[in-house]
Amino acid sequence: MISGKRPVLVACLLAVLLLVGTVHPTVVAAQTTDVERAQERLQAANRAYQTALVTVDAAYEAGVETREFDARLDEANEALTDGVDAVRATPPNTERALEAATRAERLSLAVEEDATVATQQALADEAIERETARLSSPAADEWLQRAETDRADGQFDAVERDLLYAQHAAQVTHYEAYLQNLSAQGLDLVALDAEVAAFDESVESGTLDAGEASQLRQSMQRADVCVRQLHAATLAIERADQTSSVLVSADLTAATAAQQEGYDALERGEYDAACRAAEAAETAADSETRRVESTLEANVLAKTVDAVYDTLRAVVPGFGDDTVASTTVVHPPTLVVVDVSPVSVTAAPPTPSVTPLDFTAEAVTTPVPSEPDEQVADDVEETPEQERTPERERTPTERDETVEREETAEPERAQTDRVEQPVREETVRFVIRIDGVDECGTTCRDVTGTLRNVGTGDAHNVEVDMALSVDGSVLWTGTQSLGTVPAGETRTVSQRIVLGFGEALQARSNGTVDVLITVRSDEETQTIRDTVPV
């Protein structure tokens, strides 16, 4: 019965084999596509995470308290780590990876947005405080109060506008004070006063046209120049009049006429004409002064009469007053110019340098340097009190580590320190202790320690090499030169370890980091290995 159906069974098996051979490549291709999609989403989340990091750094520099942002970034970091682990799994768990990427990206984008707002608020507070300290006028205060309100509402563009108008309002106050001073002296600059009034209305309504402020400032400065030149002309006319005597008097008709012409042009806002008239008046008055002085110097009789005339005018009250020319002296007030410039409260963090995620199961293996003639001492067994916390929560611990050469006896072990056995043949020996590990950023740690020469001789050209690796892949290396370390003396060792996100992720995924410390000198080389949990 079965033998009769054998051809049918064979045909079925062939059909199954054909179907399997047809479907399998499609399934593999679909799986590959899912993995690539998950990797792309994780890379996008990584870019968002790196951008959030630099944004939080910028917020910290602006004076923002960033601990809450750091905690949220830690969550994003964990999500990224979980996503990478899911892609590396066998078989890849693409659904978990996509969920992790979505969570990491959402957290990172939220942190970036919140940190940007916090930075702008800090910048706005600083700008408002600065402008309040230097601007003083009721009109400026009104705009500063608007800036406070807009800052509280998160309207930072409006804050920038408010602070700019506060500067304009303070400037209007100084312009008006200048014109009032001239008016009190009898000089009314009608045209300029109307221009300032129109500008004040534009400032109050917040409708300044482009260039309106610079045009008014130019008019005020030109008017101030003319006022000062007319004042100089007035002083020149007074000098010419005082130089005149009974027999020789200065003809100030042309000078006074030019002076009056200048004031009239200034009131009309014709500043070029006013300055030219002032220059002409001063020139005419100085010319008359020189003519009178040269005449009196040449004429002995006129000089004698002039001396007697001056004596009588000084002794007899009112003598000779009818000969003094009547001129109006306008003393130029000080024109206060406010520094008007746009205020920016925009947060602009630097563009991050993004290190792409590494989805390979293991990084490229790099040989770790070692000393073939050295015997590495065993790791120190840690007591429960010495167990390290993960890298981000690590607290400073102390660890004495020394190296045993082949002729050294087995060292005694204590709970916290490794005790060095004396060796009479050696003159240089080192003891290294790690004093603390402090956070300086999400992927940054400051490591401090001490190196002591416990031998009997001096160590020359001492260098401390440190390398961090995971499964033989070197993540970071650093060297510090200590020079000469005399016998019995101690030197401080410090290194700032900054890992890229890819390296930090690799270390965290592995769970531990291999630490290799090599102390080199002209007399001795010692190497210490340790495995640190992260």
pLDDT of residue 258: 95
pLDDT of residue 32: 59
List, in order, residues 6 or more apart from 267 with CB less than 8 Å away.
Answer: 187, 188, 189, 190, 191
Tokens matching residue 281 = 């008046």
Helices (H), 89-211: 94-134, 138-152, 156-184, 190-205
Domain boundary residue among 129, 164, 198?
129
More confident residue, 466 or 424: 466
Give the integer Cα–Cα distance in Å for 480 and 498: 16
The pLDDT confidence band at residue 316, using thresholds 50, 70 and 90, is: low
Task: Looking at mean pLDDT, say which of 99-103, 324-328, 344-348, 408-412 comes out highest.
Answer: 99-103
pLDDT of residue 475: 78
Tokens matching residue 289 = 């002064």
Give the integer Cα–Cα distance in Å for 244 and 146: 62
Give the integer Cα–Cα distance in Å for 439 and 448: 12
Q: Do 189 and 235 share a structural domain?
A: no
pLDDT of residue 506: 72
Q: Do 313 and 414 share a structural domain?
A: no
Give the integer Cα–Cα distance in Å for 257 and 272: 17
Q: Do 15 and 57 share a structural domain?
A: yes
The pLDDT confidence band at residue 217, using thresholds 50, 70 and 90, is: very high
Q: Is the pLDDT of residue 37 over 70?
A: yes
Percent of the chain with pLDDT over 90: 48
Q: Do 230 and 204 share a structural domain?
A: no
Query: What is the C-alpha radius of gyration for the chain, rounded to an integer number of angstroms?
Result: 44
Residue 475 covered by a domain: yes
Give the integer Cα–Cα distance in Å for 257 and 261: 6
pLDDT of residue 468: 82
Tokens matching residue 80 = 């990224």
Q: Is the pLDDT of residue 275 over 80?
A: yes
pLDDT of residue 300: 66
Mean pLDDT, residues 510-522 = 84
Q: Do 175 and 285 share a structural domain?
A: no
* Residue 499, amino acid: L
Mean pLDDT lowest among 6-15, 49-58, 130-139, 283-292: 6-15
Q: Do 390 and 310 share a structural domain?
A: no
Give the integer Cα–Cα distance in Å for 475 and 483: 27
More confident residue, 496 or 406: 496
Q: Is the pLDDT of residue 266 over 90?
A: yes
More confident residue, 16 or 149: 149
Residue 64 covered by a domain: yes
Give the integer Cα–Cα distance in Å for 93 and 103: 16
Q: Do 392 and 475 share a structural domain?
A: yes
Percent of the chain with pLDDT over 70: 75
Q: How many residues belong to the chain?
A: 534
- List the domain range (segments joined by +) for residue 75: 2-129
The pLDDT confidence band at residue 124, using thresholds 50, 70 and 90, is: very high
Q: Do 456 and 508 share a structural domain?
A: yes
Q: Do 38 and 107 share a structural domain?
A: yes
The pLDDT confidence band at residue 33, using thresholds 50, 70 and 90, is: confident
pLDDT of residue 350: 75
pLDDT of residue 3: 45
Mean pLDDT, residues 147-169 = 95
Partners of 450 in beta bridges:
433, 492
Residue 366 covered by a domain: no
Tokens matching residue 79 = 């999500």
Residue 344 covered by a domain: no
More confident residue, 64 or 353: 64
The number of beta carbons lying within 10 Å of the beta carbon of residue 44 is 15
The pLDDT confidence band at residue 328, using thresholds 50, 70 and 90, is: low
- Chain centre distance of CA 286: 58
Q: Is the pLDDT of residue 431 over 60?
A: yes
**What confidence tens digit (pLDDT) does each residue in 370-427 have?**
444 443 334 434 444 443 333 333 333 333 433 333 334 344 433 333 333 333 455 7
Average pLDDT of the chain is 79
Q: Do 316 and 410 share a structural domain?
A: no
Q: Do 47 and 85 share a structural domain?
A: yes
Give the integer Cα–Cα distance in Å for 269 and 125: 41
What's 13's domain CATH number? 1.20.140
The number of beta carbons lying within 10 Å of the beta carbon of residue 525 is 17
Q: Do 21 and 158 share a structural domain?
A: no
User: What 3-state class would DSSP assign to 520?
Assistant: strand
Number of structural domains, the chain?
4
Residue 357 covered by a domain: no
**What confidence tens digit (pLDDT) does each residue in 126-149 have?**
999 999 999 988 999 999 999 999
Give the integer Cα–Cα distance in Å for 160 and 127: 9
Mean pLDDT lowest among 27-41, 58-72, 326-340, 448-462: 27-41
Residue 311 covered by a domain: yes
Cα first-last separation, the chain: 68
pLDDT of residue 434: 77
User: What 3-state class would DSSP assign to 138?
Assistant: helix
Residue 521 covered by a domain: yes
CA distances from 205 to 96, 141, 142, 198, 359 (A): 58, 15, 12, 11, 60
Domain boundary residue among 84, 100, 129?
129
Residue 147 covered by a domain: yes
More confident residue, 404 or 238: 238
Domain boundary residue among 94, 112, 129?
129
The pLDDT confidence band at residue 253, using thresholds 50, 70 and 90, is: very high
